[in-house]
Each structure stands twice: as C-alpha cells, then as structure tokens.
Amino acid sequence: MTALPSVVEADVVIVGAGPTGLYGAYYAGFRGLSTVVVDVLPQAGGQVMALYPEKQIRDVAALPSIRGRDFVASLVEQANTYSPTYLLGRQAVSLEHIGGSPVVTLDDDTVVRAGAVVITAGIGTPTPRPLEAGGEWLGRGLSYFVVDPEQHADRNVMIVGGGDSALDWADALASIAKSVTLVHRRSAFRGHAATLERVRSGSTVIHTDTEVAALHGDLTAGVLEKVTLRSKSGDETVVPTDHVIAALGFISDLGPLREWGIELTGRSILVDRAGRTNLPRVYAAGDVSDYDGKVKLMSVGFGEVAIAMNHVAVDLDPDLVLFPGHSTDGA
C-alpha cells in the first residue's frame, strides 16, 4: 500500500533556512504568523553553515565579529521564540495555487499548505562538487558537510579541498580529532592566508599536488579504515582514516524553482519593493531576489524579509496595519 503524503499547514512557508530565512521566521512570528521553514540542507544556516561555519562574520550591524556557527545559533534561538516548524533535508519541488492559496510539495511528498510563500533560498540549491573516488561511501564514511564537529572527536579525519571551508574544518577539527589530514590537488591553497598559517603550524598533515585514489574498509557496515592518496608524480600513500570530508565547494542553481512560473533574471527572482513576485502570495527576499539597485548583503536581506513579512501579514488579514510598531512597544 502506498503511503499517503503528510500535510502540514501554516500561515507562511519559508523556502530557505539561511540567515534571511531564519530572521524571516522570527519576524513572521512577531506578526502572529505560524511558520514552516524548508531547506534542502540537513541543518539550518544556509551557506554560513555549509561553507564557513568557523569564519568570523563582520558585516552585520551591532556584531563587530562573530563566528559563523555562533551567528546561526543566535538566529535559530531568535526564530525559536515563535516555535517555527523546520522541515530540513527536504527540497521544495513544486508550487501550485489551490483556492487562491499556495501549496508547496517537497521531495518526500510532504505537502505544505500555506497562506503565503516567502523564498529566501540564497544563491539557490547547493549541490556539493563530488569526490571522484569513493562516491559509494557517501553517508558511510564520506560527507560533504560537518553538522556536528564533536562527531569527529578522537577519529582520524581526512579533509579534501583547498578553499576556505576545507581550511576552516582542518583548523576547527585539529583540537578535536585524533588526527587531521588535509589533501589538495594543487600546490597553492585558495583559502584565507591566516587560517592556512594556523593549519600549517599545527599538527595537521598536509598533502598537496595529491588526489584521493580510493577509500577502503567495510562498505556494508559503513566502517572506513584507510584512504589511498596518489600524487601527481604517481606515488601512492595509504593513510589510516575513519572519515573523509570532501570540502570541494558547491554548484548552486535555483533547481525546481525555475519551473514554478516565477519571473526570473538569470539566477535571481524579480520582486517589487514589497518583495512580491509575479505570482500571488509568493514573495522573495535576500540574495535570491533582485530589483533595480539591489545590493546582495546579509544585512540587506534582513530588511527585505521584514518588509515582505509585514506585507504577507496584511495580505492574509487586511484588517491589520502594515507597520506593527517596534518589538520594544510590546512586553
């Protein structure tokens, strides 16, 4: 018997759990709206958590400097004031309007019925650049994300890549893991020089001009034991390894959103000053949105999603006023 799809109902569904989406979840709650937050990534935080969780963020008002991971944790805490429902690790694949209201279907057949949709998908759906060798180990000793650094405590970890995320993870895990090996196919790294210097001065073993040739272990049990590396000269080295993190970057695209009938410009969604798209009760904010004079900054996205949520509130209840006052006017 085929299982019936689950149905979730909310005043607004936010597609994208990055910083803009998380602030949108808070602001929707502030306006009295029940909220569902959907993201294809397995954790909230968008690009910040996927690419530079250990980096310092310095371009957000009132925060001279904050680690990416801590920044996301604060946004989640703020959003959770109003108890949004998170549907993470699921992709929004289709949109239709039933009775004038949008209905979003996810890739696991979950159906979200909402009064409005706010798209905060950043640069779109991120697809990790695959590791050419050992793809069958994905989820069994190979991953493209680090959801919880403590999962790598006292383990032999190999990180593959030469950008900021690879260096960040090598730096962050050096004091947690039993050993860290960093592998880069080129001689020069693209990441931040200061981070590279910390990695080089620590205990991390670095292999440059080298690629992963094969992963070995008990695939059925998901127990990785070692990795064979091959240098450009053809020399092979076997390294004891419990887990491989392939930090090779991402290819981003709007994915299924392109088929929703939304007016686009390149890889962005065209919106008006209220964040409205060409579709009824469908809004967009943050880096995924575009209009004349647009500046793609995180701080701009926060303002855009607040504007969009205020207009959503009035769309759903015309008796409300557009400007609700300040949070300090309440309790």
Alpha-carbon distances, residue 189 vs 29, 80, 154, 159, 166 (angstroms) = 43, 38, 26, 13, 10
Q: Quick: pLDDT tens for 227-280.
A: 999 999 999 999 999 999 999 987 777 889 999 999 999 889 999 999 999 999
Mean pLDDT of the chain: 92
Q: Is residue 218 a known part of a binding site?
A: no
Q: Is residue 47 a known part of a binding site?
A: yes
Q: Is residue 328 a known part of a binding site?
A: yes
Q: Is the pLDDT of residue 92 over 70?
A: yes
Give pLDDT, residue 89.
Answer: 92
8-state DSSP, 287: G
- For the ranges 56-65, 97-106, 226-235, 281-290, the lowest mean pLDDT is seen at 56-65
Cα separation of 123 and 179, whole Å? Answer: 34
Q: Is the pLDDT of residue 107 over 80?
A: yes
Give pLDDT, residue 6.
Answer: 93
Provide the greatest CA pair distance for the chain.
Answer: 73
Indicate the pTM of the whole model.
Answer: 0.77
Q: Quick: pLDDT tens for 135-157.
A: 899 999 999 878 788 899 999 99
Q: Quick: pLDDT tens for 22-72.
A: 999 999 999 999 999 999 988 999 988 877 777 788 889 999 999 898 999
Give pLDDT, residue 253.
Answer: 79
Give pLDDT, residue 281.
Answer: 97
Listed residue (107, 101, 102) closest to 40, CA to CA: 107
Q: Is residue 20 a known part of a binding site?
A: yes
Give pLDDT, residue 131.
Answer: 93
Give pLDDT, residue 328.
Answer: 79
Q: Is the pLDDT of residue 3 over 60?
A: no
Q: Quick: pLDDT tens for 173-225.
A: 999 999 999 999 999 999 889 889 999 999 999 999 999 999 999 999 999 99
Q: Is residue 52 a known part of a binding site?
A: yes
Q: Is the pLDDT of residue 329 over 70?
A: yes
Strands of the sheet with 156-160, listed across from one edge: 142-143, 243-246, 156-160, 179-183, 205-207
Q: Is the pLDDT of residue 303 over 60?
A: yes
Q: Is the pLDDT of residue 16 over 60?
A: yes
Cα separation of 282 and 231, whole Å? Answer: 51
Q: Is the pLDDT of residue 118 over 80?
A: yes
Cα dihedral sign, 53-55-61-63: positive
For residues 124-131, give the mean pLDDT: 80
